């Protein structure tokens, strides 16, 4: 994890006019789905793994560099050397503790701006980072621009249909997520038979799902299994170039364990990692997965 091998670029000739794509990569399993989709499209990509966050096995599968949080100057230099024209920010990045941050000079100069953004919540922080990258001459783009095929489409994805009650639970959760938008809270909630069972904040979707089982044991949740929906949608006004909601097989497995009826995600703005296996997993459990229209995209 510590070495900084400036791997020779993939040099498979790439596709079109735009230069290589730099992928700044945090933790989680979703970056793999994105990187693989981009690679399949034929575009040359260079991974920039965030040290301590990104999965080494994924990063080292492609031409790559390791960077630390706070090394904006180093990133920009390397990205230019690699002839990258565009940047994708992908993966989870929990709020780093200050000891994990390595500041280079450029970042240091921008620090007051970063601190202000940090206090404003995740969205502001990422938007500020994106602005600083763009000031460095690169264009920050979103997943849908390079790997639209891994975004959830509108409609039922597997073989199970949501019921009318599920539809009503979905609508309530979407409205709740929209109402919480100004507070930069999570992008997910669980609603069962019109009751809000859980709201995601810093704990993440998997932890939120796990607590449904705990609440059942405590008799705080008494809905029968097969009632209730996990709903994921971007916050209204969210910059859709980063931090999009995402689901994968683990999400489905945890939703099954929580006894839910299904999962609804905002169509066009939610990543479905490994969609084949994810949907198959849901189908086997008779759980629906549906892409829904969630407010007007920004």
Q: Which residues bind its own copies (CB under 8 A)?
A: 94-97, 119-122, 172, 175-176, 179-180, 182-186, 189-190, 193-204, 207, 211, 214-215, 218-222
Q: Which is nearer to its own copies, 67 or 227 (CB)?
A: 227
β-sheet bridge partners, residue 265: 232, 291
Find the shortest distance in angstroms from Cβ 212 to its own copies. Answer: 9
Q: Which is nearer to its own copies, 45 or 190 (CB)?
A: 190
Q: Among 164, 182, 102, 150, which residue's Cα sits nearest to residue 277? A: 150
Find the shortest distance in angstroms from Cβ 192 to its own copies. Answer: 9
Q: Which is nearer to its own copies, 156 or 215 (CB)?
A: 215
All residues at 6 or more sequence positions from 41 whose CB lies less than 8 Å from its CB, including other chains: 15, 146, 147
Find the shortest distance in angstroms from Cβ 56 to its own copies. Answer: 18
Find the shortest distance in angstroms from Cβ 7 to its own copies. Answer: 28
Q: Which is nearer to its own copies, 135 or 179 (CB)?
A: 179
Q: Which is nearer to its own copies, 176 or 280 (CB)?
A: 176
Find the shortest distance in angstroms from Cβ 263 to its own copies. Answer: 18
| Residue bearing tokens 């280079």 | 104
Please spell the DSSP secondary structure of 11-70, one letter per residue.
Answer: -S--SSSS-EEEEEE-BSSHHHHHHHHHHHTT--EEEEEETTTS-HHHHTTSSEEEE-TT
Q: Which is nearer to its own copies, 2 or 99 (CB)?
A: 99
Q: Among 47, 33, 54, which residue's Cα sits nearest to residue 78? A: 47
Find the shortest distance in angstroms from Cβ 174 to its own copies. Answer: 11
Q: What is the distance between the alpha carbons of residues 258 and 67, in angstroms, rounded to a whole number?
A: 37
Q: Which is nearer to its own copies, 148 or 179 (CB)?
A: 179
Q: Which is nearer to its own copies, 184 or 239 (CB)?
A: 184
Find the shortest distance in angstroms from Cβ 193 to its own copies. Answer: 7
Please spell the DSSP secondary structure of 194-235, one letter per residue.
Answer: TEEEEE-STT-HHHHHHHHHHHHHTTS--PPTT--EEEE-PP
The span from the first CA to the last CA of the chain, in angstroms, equals 37
Find the shortest distance in angstroms from Cβ 44 to its own copies. Answer: 33
Beta-sheet pairing, 64-67 with 84-90: unpaired
Cβ–Cβ < 8 Å for 276, 269: no
Helix, strand, coil percent values for the chain (each to nearest 5): 40, 20, 40
């Amino acid at each position: 994890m510590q070495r900084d091998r400036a791997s020779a670029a993939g040099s498979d000739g790439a596709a079109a006019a735009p230069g290589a794509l730099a992928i700044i990569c945090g933790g989680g399993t979703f970056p793999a789905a994105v990187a693989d989709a981009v690679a399949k499209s034929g575009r040359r990509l260079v991974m920039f793994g965030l040290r301590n966050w990104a999965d080494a096995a994924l990063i080292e599968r492609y031409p790559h560099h390791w960077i630390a949080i706070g090394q904006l100057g180093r990133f920009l230099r390397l990205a230019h050397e690699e002839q990258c024209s565009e940047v994708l920010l992908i993966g989870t990045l929990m709020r780093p503790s200050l000891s994990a941050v390595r500041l280079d000079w450029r970042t240091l100069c921008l620090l007051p701006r970063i601190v202000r953004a940090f206090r404003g919540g995740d969205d502001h922080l990422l938007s500020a980072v994106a602005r600083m990258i763009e000031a460095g001459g690169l264009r920050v783009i979103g997943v849908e621009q390079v790997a639209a095929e891994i975004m959830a489409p509108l409609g039922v994805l597997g073989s199970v249909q949501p019921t009318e009650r599920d539809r009503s639970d979905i609508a309530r959760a979407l409205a709740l997520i929209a109402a919480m938008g100004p507070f930069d809270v999570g992008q997910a909630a669980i609603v069962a038979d019109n009751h809000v069972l859980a709201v995601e904040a810093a704990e993440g979707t998997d932890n939120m799902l796990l607590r449904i089982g705990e609440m059942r044991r405590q008799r705080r949740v008494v809905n029968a299994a097969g009632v209730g929906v996990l709903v994921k949608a971007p916050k209204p006004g969210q910059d859709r170039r980063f931090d999009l909601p995402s689901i994968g097989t683990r999400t489905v497995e945890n939703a099954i364990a929580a006894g839910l009826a299904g999962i609804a995600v905002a169509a066009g703005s939610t990543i479905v990692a490994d969609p084949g296996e994810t949907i198959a997993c849901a189908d086997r459990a008779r759980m629906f997965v549906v892409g829904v229209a969630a407010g007007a995209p920004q």
